[in-house]
Structure 1
Amino acid sequence: MRIPKIFYFIILLWTCFGAQAQNKQVLYDFSEIPQSLMINPGVQSDFKWYAGIPGISGLSFQIGSSGVSAYDLFAADGIDFNTKFRNRLIGGMTRRDELSGTYQLELLNVGFRSQDPNVFYSFGIYNEGDAIGYWFEDYAILAIEGNADRLNQRFDLGDLKTRGEMMNVFHFGVNKKIDNKFTVGARGKIYSSIFDFNSTRNKGFFVTRPGQNNLLSSTINADMKWRTSGINALKNAASDDEIPSTILKRGFFGGNLGLGIDLGFTYQINKQTVFTASLLDLGFIYHSNDVENYTLKGDVTTEGVEVILPGDILDPSRDFWQDLVDDIEEILPFENNFKNYITFRPTKLNASLRYNWGEQSLRAADCDCGPNVNRSNRAQKFVNGVGGQLYVINRPRGPQTALTAFYQRRFGNVLAVKATYTADKFTYTNVGFGMNLQAGPVNLYVIADNLLAYRNIADSQYASFQLGLNIISWGKK
């Protein structure tokens, strides 16, 4: 039967696909780092130009699980695995629990200031993958425990919600300082999708009741879709050992295309207080290339297979299970089609309020010249900053939020550090740390999240890491 094969695939996908979170709270408004422009195109920047080192200028990954960790299931704690599986996975998780994550790899990232010193341009390409799968609670109960002791209980087919994608993103941004208080920015994007799968708008139920002509009567009411694009191209490439070339082709305008925009601003409330906000990935992708979709729609009730005794029992060619499958599929057809479809990007909102204090750090002249030499146009910045940040991302089961408190400290113009504490659905003890080192024109930053969990990675439900290397020039006034 074809439906169980897809169900097994979903199980494998949910348990093995690692790639939410997307919250880059340490990097956000860390203005010494050029990549902060990518999560707020309206950040206050003072670069003359910068260039990221391809492949390592912006590398990040995040993975989160709001349900169980590997330690919950595989720890040597003397509890039988089957008991832990039932108590912690089947009995301990709900349909709102998820496994999700993302990665991002910069292929090109360049920025430069125009002849108007108040305007800064940036452009580049990055590769991104994102996936999320919610725990299919009723499917798991039905598969593991069956329905024998659950008569009249409706199993919700809408528990199946998952999506994933990989793409290249081509972007061009403009950052403009309006006046001493207000800086705005916008970034246009072209999405080149490599592959996509999604099944997020499923409805229906399965229920078993006492039958009239048989012991039991089972009803399926379903309106389900599984949509894909690019999957067949990758499957065919795998058989011909051409996966890298296929990914390259589809990622550079050979796949499905879409458009998006990022918006952001920074507002200087007073000399020491700053408010920022950004709206990212407000966009869509139109899937018309290598599309294949699957549907299950209809309503059917069956009381099992009709058996005429004794002839049917003595017939060795009679396959009662296949007869039942054929009857159900005839009434409730499982079909595939090649219709185009549109997916919307997981839009993200950031907002922060920061209070600065301490003597402002000044950058020395670029050379050992006299005291009257023009200094670089690198802005003066306070030594200390403290504040809070709100993060919201749109997900299939509704918006997810995270709240962050942060402290930032600058040590001259060479070193800046930022510490964060974040509470979200994955953990309430997420302590993060970021370090930015400026050695002449060379800029290196390292960021990590959920540091307390590093004592036992297997017991962690969230992990995030970011690394980047850039060349920066501040030029002259």
Structure 2
Amino acid sequence: MLLFAILVKAQNTFYFMEAMPQNTALNPAIIPDVKFYMGLPGIGGMNAQVHNSGFTYSQFDEFAKNLTNIGYVPDDFVNSIGETNVFRGEAELNLFSFGFRLKEKGFLSFAATMNSLLINEAASDIAYLLTDFNDISTDDFPIIVEGISLNANTSLKVGFTYAHKINSHLTLGISPRVNFGQAGLNTSGMRYKIELINDNIEEVQFEQTFSGMAEIALPTEINPEALDQDVLNMDEGLLPENWAEGLKAGDFLKNPGLLIDFGATYEIEKWTFSASVLNIGNPVFKNNVYKLNGKNDQVLLTETDKIKIQVPTRFYLGAMRQFSPKWNYALLLNNHFYSTGAVTTATASLNGYIGKILSTSFSYTAGYKYDNLGVGLRLRFFPGMDLYAVTDNIIQAVNFKNANWLTVALGVNISILGHTKQPDTNELPVEIN
């Protein structure tokens, strides 16, 4: 089970930052203060968030290191987690993006991104599954983890975002995207068991079995060596050896599904009110999909026509006041609807320009096990090029080993700024035409 992923999606702080075209991903009705931008593959942007409810990395590391110590009671740590542990991780990598202003009436952008999602809810005993089984006392076997609900998928998203000014007050936005599913996994109420079958000093052997149902979607056909008729050999990999070498471009465009984002902003005097709903849709996997049924120490595999794996719907509601030509303060409410339940956060932020080459955001976010200061910076480090870095929790980002939440966004934009909110545009650095 993946409980700690290197997903280190700053969202709330990002929302109201100036001259940041990426915030159209949070509300398609936002018209960024740029005339044109381009995000190059890889460096064009990465954003991610990770949350683990029951423990931090440091706490788990101490638990794992002490397992071999005489007198250590590992159940003390497991009991401190609570009845269940919930992990949520999301990551997005920009493959290519660009956008441009449509005179004074709107903004149009195109983007291709690779996205990953992992949601895991299980009994607190899952902590044992993340350790080296050889370090666990033989008296603690068998290890049984109940109630494992796992939702994971990786997808390629390609689409456009269009914002249009209806009048001087109202702007509407829409972002339809084709979601190409690459791989997915879905379980509910699964039971995982690890037994010690040989405690010989020279060779310790373990047997791992699960009971319950699981649905999987693979990027290629399942490894034939992992099958004995309809029985899955858990010791073999699900994918054939060197499977990635046989992939073609068309293999990444399978399992298409539609996701749509809607957004709106309403300006009245110095105030702007905004709302958006993201990820409306229910993508379906139809290629290389299987159902696993664990029963009586065997895992039976059958092919199936399709499986559905949830993509969390997100809702944003914001209010912003422009109190000077360069600065605004804002409040944002954010709700993520995961399969494990809704997660709500609220952020107050101060956003604006500092000098000629820097725009920034300072924020405070409150949420479940998550109260922290955030910072966003966009620096024009070279004519026509912006470097940005954003996090909702700067303190925990620095001290990540003791964090239950981590969020970060990083990238480089090639852009021509709009300067619609800056009175001293003649003093700004020369832009690329």
The TM-score normalised by the length of structure 1 is: 0.70
Question: What is the CA-CA distance between 1:31 and the residue it aligns to?
Answer: 3.9
- Residues 344-376 of structure 1 deviation map (CA, whole Å, 9 limit, x = unaligned): 321111111122213x1xxxxxxxxxxxxxxxx
CA contact (8 A) 2:185 2:309 kept: no
Contact 1:122 1:173 in 2 (8 A): yes
- The residue matched to 1:92 in structure 2 has which SS? helix
Q: 1:427 aligns with which of 347, 359, 370?
A: 370
**Which of these two proteins has the greater Rg computed from alpha carbons?**
1
Determine if the alignment matches structure 1 residue 390 to structure 2 residue 333. yes
Contact 2:9 2:409 in 1 (8 A): no
- How far apart are the structure 2 equivalents of 1:81 and 1:179? 68
User: After the TM superposition, which residues 447-466 of structure 1 pair with which residues of structure 2 at under 5 Å, given as runs?
Assistant: 447-454=390-397, 456-466=399-409
Deviations 1:143-180, CA, capped at 9 Å, x for gaps: 99689xxxxxxx995x2111111111001111101122
| 1:444 counterpart (387, 393, 405) | 387
Which residue does 2:216 correspond to in 1? 228
**1:17-416 to 2 correspondence within 5 Å?**
17=5, 19=7, 22=9, 24-75=11-62, 83=72, 85-88=74-77, 90-114=78-102, 117-137=104-124, 159-200=147-188, 202=189, 224-230=212-218, 233=221, 239-243=240-244, 246=247, 249-251=250-252, 253=253, 255-268=254-267, 270-295=268-293, 325=296, 336-358=302-324, 360=325, 383-416=326-359
Distance 2:248 2:13 in 1: 31
- Per-residue deviation, residues 37-92 of structure 1 (Å, max 9, x unmatched): 1111111334332222222112123222111112113349x97777463222x202
| Partners of 1:161 and 1:396 within 8 A in 2 | no
Q: Give CA-to-partner distance per residue, 1:101-146, whole Å, 9 cap, x none.
A: 12211111111234x6303211121111111111324778999968
More helix by share: 1
Q: In structure 2, do the counterparts of structure 1 residues 473 and 73 end up closer, same or farther at CA, with 3 Å as the change threshold?
A: closer
For 1:169, the aligned partner's letter is K
Q: Deviations over 1:380-436 (max 9, x none)?
A: xxx2222221111111121111111211132245211101121223422x2211111
Shift of 1:293: 0.9
Counterpart Cα distance in 2 of 1:146 and 1:191: 43
1:340 Cα shift? 1.4
The answer (yes or no) to whether the contact 1:111–1:120 under 8 Å persists in 2 is yes
Asked whether the 8 Å contact 1:194–1:247 carries over to 2, the reply is no
Point out which structure has higher relative CO (alpha carbons under 8 A, 6+ apart): 2
Q: Distance in 1 between matches of 2:261 and 2:94?
A: 17
Residues 64 and 426, structure 1, Cα contact 8 Å, conserved in 2: no
Give 1:278 shift: 1.2
CA, structure 1 residues 234+97, in 2 after alignment: closer, same or farther (shift >3 Å)? Answer: same
Relative distance call for 1:44 and 1:471 in structure 2 (3 A) is same
Q: How many residues align?
A: 380
Q: Pairwise CA RMSD of aligned residues?
A: 3.7
Give the number of the structure whose residues are more often strand, by fraction: 2
Supply the distance in 2 between the matched residues of 1:61 and 1:235 (Cα, whole angstroms).
Answer: 31
Q: Equivalents in 2 of 1:141, 1:128: separation in Å?
A: 29
- TM-score between the two structures when normalised by the length of structure 2: 0.76
Distance (whole Å) between structure 2 residues aligned to residue 409 and residue 476 of structure 1:
12
The letter for the 2-side match of 1:190 is V
- The 1:181/1:170 distance shift into structure 2, 3 A limit, reads same
CA–CA separation in structure 2 for the residues paired with 1:465 and 1:178: 34
- The answer to whether the Cα contact below 8 Å between 1:31 and 1:43 also exists between their aligned partners in 2 is no
For residues 70 and 81 of structure 1, what CA distance do their matches in structure 2 show?
19
C-alpha spacing 1:437/1:265, structure 2 compared with 1 (3 Å): same
* Alpha-carbon shift at residue 249 of structure 1 (Å): 4.5
Cα 1:286–1:180 change in 2 (3 A) is same
Output the amino acid matched with 2:259.
G
Letter in 2 for 1:345: V
What does the per-residue CA deviation read over 1:209-262, in whole Å, with 9 as the maximum and x for residues that have no partner? xxxxxxxxxxxxx994211001654868964434266385432x1x31211101
Q: Cα gap change, 1:179/1:106 in structure 2, threshold over 3 Å: closer, same or farther? A: same
Match of 1:365 in 2: none
The one-letter amino acid of 2:407's match is S
Quote the Cα distance in structure 2 between the aligned partners of 1:466 and 1:66. 22
Alpha-carbon separation, structure 1, partners of 2:245 and 2:409: 24
Alignment-derived partner of residue 197 in structure 2: none
Answer whether contact 2:9 2:90 (CA < 8 A) is retained: yes
Distance in 2, Cα, partners of 1:279 & 1:244: 38
Question: Could you tell me which amino acid in structure 1 is paired with residue 313 of structure 2?
Answer: T
